A and B are shown apart, each in its own frame.
Chain A
Amino acid sequence: MILIISDNFVLLIPRSTFVAAIVIRPLHIFSVLCFAFLSYSISIYTFLPAEHSSAGISRTAEGRLVWQKYNCQSCHQLYGLGGYLGPDLTNIYSAKGRGEIFIKAMLRSGVRQMPAFDLAPEEVADLLEFLKAADASGTADPRHFKIRLSGMIEQK
């Protein structure tokens, strides 16, 4: 075996495979990690599966902007991510006793800590389309998940 000691790292190489001295510096490791990170990021942007196109897809995008414009995320969550003052709204569109009319009523009247919002009709329509897309994507209810042996969870 051949032992190579540098300021930063120690390498033990079988003599039979020794070709040349290899000194690994922090810059090399940093560069390799950055390359891996960039590759992973690009794979997320381009190869991540996207939902099927639908007539409402541009309204979903616009509805997202309405959600942001009125800062709904300060109090509400989507898939458990957001503020905790109000309930999770991922599946509000199809929830029993909820739905479009309920959402419109809450927006108009407010309740407890939630103020009344004065949305334009197009904004309401876009927001409803966005919440419909959120609902269609899956469930955020933790009771509908199963736990695998690996510790990972999957929707039932």
Chain B
Amino acid sequence: MSFKNLHIGKLFLLLSLVMLVTGLVFGLLAGLSYVLPGQLKELPGFVSLRPLHVSSVQFWILLGASGCVFCGLELLNPGKLNRTLGRLQLLLWVITISGILRSYFLKDFGGREYWEFNPLWALPLALAWLLFLINFFISAGSLKNWPVYLWMWMTGIVFFLFTFTENYLWLFPCFREHFVKDMTIQWKANGSLVGAWNQIIYGTSFFLMSRISNSDAPSRSRLSFGMYFLGLFNLMFNWGHHIYTLPTASYVRYLGYGVSMTEWLIFLRIIYTWRQSVTDIQKHYSYFPYRFLMAADLWVFLNLGQALLMSVPAINVYTHGTHVTVAHAMATTIGINSMILLGACCDFLGATCELVSFPLKRVNRLFHISQLSLLIFWLSLNIAGVKKAIWQMSPHQIPFSRMMEGLQPWFVVFILAGTVLMISLGSIAILLIRHYLLCTLKKSSGNASNINQSHNNHEYPD
């Protein structure tokens, strides 16, 4: 089997699954710092393990999103993607990721939160993304009559490039000389950046549902476009909810507050259409990749509800700076983004290839274990966060270290649940990679030529 014959989208998805496993392992090692103080302090230490975990997970999301877009575009407009640009983009990613992970081990930092690597590595990353943007427009063509998922993909790609660049304005001394203004811009960029990659992932969710239901109608409806523009509006203007406690200009904070509250429309819509959701579940449950989308819907409900509460400044003043924020960030990354990407990986990587039997029962068991462990993981972090919030507001605070000792039982639960989560999600990723590689190996050795089109005649480009 030669990797060069594989479709570029599949290569991105395979690499993204590797980054998922990497991120899970580093996440567990970093988490151990909470329950084993002093262990691994120098080698490599939490100061390296945290960015190793965060960056690996970010690369899982960004590479997975890129792979989904490439696979989707190939299905929509076969043969239009530029292979050279795609492979150059992949090469840049491989070089960049290797350099960044190595630099973390060597404690060569210099960047800001979530992008702690030496800023020089931002250049190949930005170039890779620019190639992605060019390739997207080559394949997608004119904006006329685009379904909503193409709009979302385009929006995510464009805004990621913009906000990633904005994230490096601090390189100019005039931006970092004024502390409050500097932090305002930092969290403006960070907030919108997350919104940008969410656009790509939610677009993938729409695309998958179009495939599963064999109808593009939901992706062209006024409601879908309404939801898209509401999401875009929030991407652009709601980031102020990260900095309510920062003494920045009032209009920034009030605008973030007001815009964040518009997402109640999405939350209420989910409640209003719950009957339809149940019907959809009954209809599509048998198609395995759909289960990940179903899980993502549940986590959207839980996390959106939590986020809406946290976006009210009067509540945020209690939760800000506590593990409630960590719980929200992790549950959205794992429960929403990762579930959608895993569903897409199951679909695009041909989980129904007949040449090699897909370990459906095992993956199904791992899927359910991952949901339960994620729930415990999320709850334990929330409880630890509430306890820290009580400490923060206490008129007579005990020392910080004693407060953290008091949270130890919840950190132990968090680590145990995290371990199970790591094993279950990591196993799913490894099984997907293994299944796809075995299937491709068998096909290329000419053992059989049939591909099982198990659901509504979907085609799986090689």
Contact = CB atoms under 8 A, between A and B. Distances in A.
A65 B41 CA distance: 23
A8 B143 contact: no
B206 to A, nearest CB: 14
B413 to A, nearest CB: 16
B183 A78 contact: yes
Given A41-B166, A80-B325, A142-B317, 6 more contacts: A51-B179, A70-B109, A112-B37, A113-B38, A115-B45, A152-B254
A11 B249 CA distance: 37
Interface residues of B, number: 76
B233 A140 contact: no
Contact of A69 (B110, B316, B325, B395): B110
Interface of A: 8-9, 26-27, 29-30, 33, 36-37, 40-41, 44-45, 48-51, 57-58, 60-61, 64-65, 68-71, 73-75, 77-88, 110, 112-113, 115, 130, 133-134, 137-138, 140-143, 145, 147, 151-153, 155
B184 A44 contact: yes
B51 A71 contact: yes
Contact of B236 (A33, A110, A115, A151): A33
Contacts of B401: 112
Contacts of A75: 46-47, 50
Contacts of B233: 33
B242 A81 contact: yes
7 contacts: A50-B180, A60-B177, A61-B177, A74-B51, A75-B50, A115-B41, A145-B245
B321 A40 contact: no
A97 B185 CA distance: 32
A19 to B, nearest CB: 24
Contacts of B246: 79, 138
B247 A153 contact: no
Contacts of B314: 147, 151-153
Interface in B167-195: 169-170, 173, 175-185, 187-188
B229 A74 contact: no
Contacts of B328: none
Contacts of A26: 143, 146, 151, 225, 229
A143 B395 CA distance: 8
A60 B257 CA distance: 30
B321 A133 contact: no
Interface stretch (B68-76, B111-119, B432-440): B111-119
B106 interface: no
B232 A30 contact: yes
Contacts of B111: 68
A134 B173 CA distance: 16
A74 B46 contact: yes
B46 A65 contact: no
A69 to B, nearest CB: 6
B262 interface: no
Contacts of B33: 85, 113
Nearest to B323: A84
B408 to A, nearest CB: 13
Contact of A142 (B46, B175, B318): B318
Contacts of A8: 222, 225
Question: Considering the complex of A and B, which 6 residue pairs feature the smallest CB-CB distances, nearest first?
Answer: A80-B321, A138-B247, A50-B178, A37-B236, A71-B109, A87-B400
A120 to B, nearest CB: 15
A87 to B, nearest CB: 4
Given A71-B116, A83-B50, A151-B257, A40 B170 contact: no
B249 A48 contact: yes
Interface in B201-256: 222, 225, 229, 232-233, 236-237, 242-249, 252-254
A111 to B, nearest CB: 8
Contacts of A140: 245, 321
Nearest to B143: A27
Given A112-B38, A155-B247, A142 B392 contact: yes
Given A68-B112, A81-B113, A153 B316 contact: yes
Contacts of A112: 37-38, 401
A140 B401 CA distance: 19
Nearest to B151: A26
B310 to A, nearest CB: 12
Interface string B78-118: 00000000000000000000000000000101111100100
Contacts of B51: 71, 74
A61 B173 contact: yes
B291 interface: no
Interface in B103-138: 107, 109-113, 116
Contacts of A36: 236
Contact of A74 (B116, B187, B317, B395): B116
A33 B257 contact: no
Contacts of B254: 152
Contacts of B173: 58, 61
